[in-house]
Amino acid sequence: MHSSTPAARSGTHTRSSTFGAVVRVTSGNFLEQFDFFLFGFYATYISRIFFPSSSEFASLMLTFAVFGAGFLMRPLGAIVLGAYIDEVGRRKGLIVTLTIMASGTILIACVPAYDTIGLLAPALVLLGRLLQGFSAGAELGGVSVYLAEMATPGHRGFYTSWQSASQQVAIVVAAALGYLLNHWLTTQEIGAWGWRIPFFVGCAIVPVIFLLRRTLKETAEFEARPRHPGTREIWNATLKNWRAVFAGMLLVAMTTTTFYLITVYTPTFGKTVLKLSTADSLIVTVCVGFSNFLWLPIGGALSDRVGRKPILIAIPVLAICTSYPALHWLCAAPSFGRMLAVLLWLSFFFGMYNGAMVAALAEIMPVEVRVAGFSLAFSLATAVFGGFTPAVSTYLIEATGDKAAPGYWLSFAAVCGLAATLALYRRSDTARRAARHAIDGT
């Protein structure tokens, strides 16, 4: 006697297929964030090897500038690769972005030191970051739109939240690898060659992710469209909808700034500013990754139930009121416990806000330029705000002498997100009222 009905088996199969599709599409996101985080965490070692200087501050600023340069390539990648994905399909486009991203990763992992090849070393590192940034410009948008288009009715926020949730897995894995290296190797060994090991791990998982992406199916929504516009049409449509792109950029400002502050910048902040141990910084980062992973789907699912607007207003207001005071409290008496408490509080901001924001951004973009518009808005926000958060934080602390100064930068980004939310939803509310009056008048 069979223990399950055909309908039950079909439901199980559907859930399994959906889970597999989510894993396949977000696998590239894992690699992207894994590599980005490694560059930020090992910034102090990279600065000495590729950007040697008599000043530690100058070397670190050069390293973070190269890190940020990758984000300047994101808008270009969003325009070129985003339009390509809107034209040829999500599946083919995401395989192309993965290829470019993997090339940058392999290059950075294998570049010899400045002492070996001179100025060619920092030039190649910069090239690797530019390739990563170019591909990432459309990778995130392509993945987010894919998840939005495959989502079941009423669950778009929950589905799209897994785009960023996959990145949190990368944060945890990268931080855990760093912790193990710190335990097994001396500081001198890590500085000489040990820092490359996690990058080689990233190279090793590239073939696995390629296999996963190759089995990805095109979204039914994309295939159902009677016509797919060409690249030039997509570019023109994106330009026509520049207001939506600009508002989307401001909407993303808070999430990208918070993310890079609590993940990529955390190890450097803990070691160089708070003077805590490397192990303490890594443990906090692992905890932040787990916390982000928890709050993201909660934020997405909650926004499906109560709407995007309440969350997109409440979280920025909390951030404006508490970001600087929390960091000031931490810097007044640095300790592992205080650092963990403050960063978990900021993690709550990020997870809840981003869980609602990604779905909202996908919804405000016209369908014909959904990937290009989404990618461009996200890339511009990352280039202007998030990507340079480590550099801006380092500069603000140096210029003001206030160790909590990054709180000002985060509060400013929260103001941008709040303003965008109020503008976007005022416009949509006005449009709905106009449509309702038109119907009532007929």
Please give the average per-residue pLDDT across 100-122, as a whole number.
87
Q: What is the token pair recorded at 299?
A: 């934020």
Query: What are the C-alpha distances in Å from 217 to residues 90, 95, 213, 332, 371?
Result: 9, 12, 9, 53, 17
What is the residue whose two structure tokens read 């918070």?
Answer: 258
Average pLDDT, the chain: 83
Q: In this structure, is residue 1 part of a structural domain?
A: no
* CATH code, 57: 1.20.1250.20
Q: Is the pLDDT of residue 11 over 60?
A: no
Overall domain count for the chain: 1
In this predicted structure, what is the pLDDT of residue 227?
67
Is the per-residue pLDDT at 439 higher than 60? no
Count CB atoms within 10 A of the CB of residue 108: 24
Question: How is residue 418 annotated by DSSP?
Answer: H
Under 8 Å CB-to-CB from 119, ≥6 apart: which residues? none
Model confidence over 392-438: pLDDT tens digits? 998 899 999 999 999 999 999 999 999 999 998 886 555 444 434 43
Spatial distance between the Cα atoms of 398 and 73, rounded to a whole number of angstroms: 27
Going from the C-alpha of 166 to that of each of 29, 160, 163, 289, 321, the distances in angstroms are 6, 11, 6, 10, 29
Question: Which single residue is written with the structure tokens 């000031």?
Answer: 328
Q: Give the residue numbers spanning the domain of 355.
A: 25-216+230-435
In whole angstroms, what is the distance from residue 338 CA to residue 291 CA?
Answer: 16
pLDDT score of 6: 42
The more confidently predicted of residues 82 and 275 is 275
pLDDT tens string 233-291? 777 877 887 888 899 999 999 999 999 899 878 878 888 889 988 888 888 888 998 99
Which pLDDT score, from 0 to 100, does residue 74 have? 84
Q: What is the predicted pLDDT for the residue at 305?
A: 94
For 281-300, the pLDDT digits (tens) are 888 888 998 999 999 999 99
Question: What digits encode the pLDDT tens for the residues 22-33?
Answer: 777 787 778 777
316 domain residue, yes or no: yes
Residue-by-residue DSSP string for 55-121: -HHHHHHHHHHHHHHHHHTHHHHHHHHHHHHHHH-HHHHHHHHHHHHHHHHHHHHHPPPHHHHTTHH
Q: Is residue 221 part of a domain?
A: no
Cα 51 to chain centroid, rounded: 26
Task: Indicate if the pLDDT at residue 3 is higher than 60.
Answer: no
How high is the pLDDT of residue 438? Answer: 37
- For residue 207, the number of C-alpha atoms closer than 13 Å in the C-beta half-sphere is 3
pLDDT of 348 reads: 96
Q: If you average pLDDT over residues 96-125, what whole number do you get? A: 87
Residue 7 sits at the vertex; the CA angle it makes with 6 and 12, to the nearest 5 degrees, is 95
Asked if residue 442 belongs to a domain, the reply is: no
Q: Which long-range contacts (CB under 8 A, 24 or more apart) does 342-347 make?
A: 343/262, 343/266, 343/284, 343/287, 343/288, 344/287, 344/288, 344/291, 346/258, 346/261, 346/262, 346/410, 347/262, 347/288, 347/291, 347/292, 347/295
Q: Would 9 be classed as within a structural domain?
A: no
Task: Confirm whether 12 is domain-assigned.
Answer: no
Q: How large a percentage of the chain has pLDDT more than 90?
A: 26
Most confident of 88-92, 369-373, 378-382: 378-382
pLDDT in tens, 152-175: 888 888 988 888 888 888 878 887
Nearest partner of 266 among 152, 184, 323, 343, judged by Cα: 343
* Residue 388 domain flag: yes
Domain presence at residue 332: yes
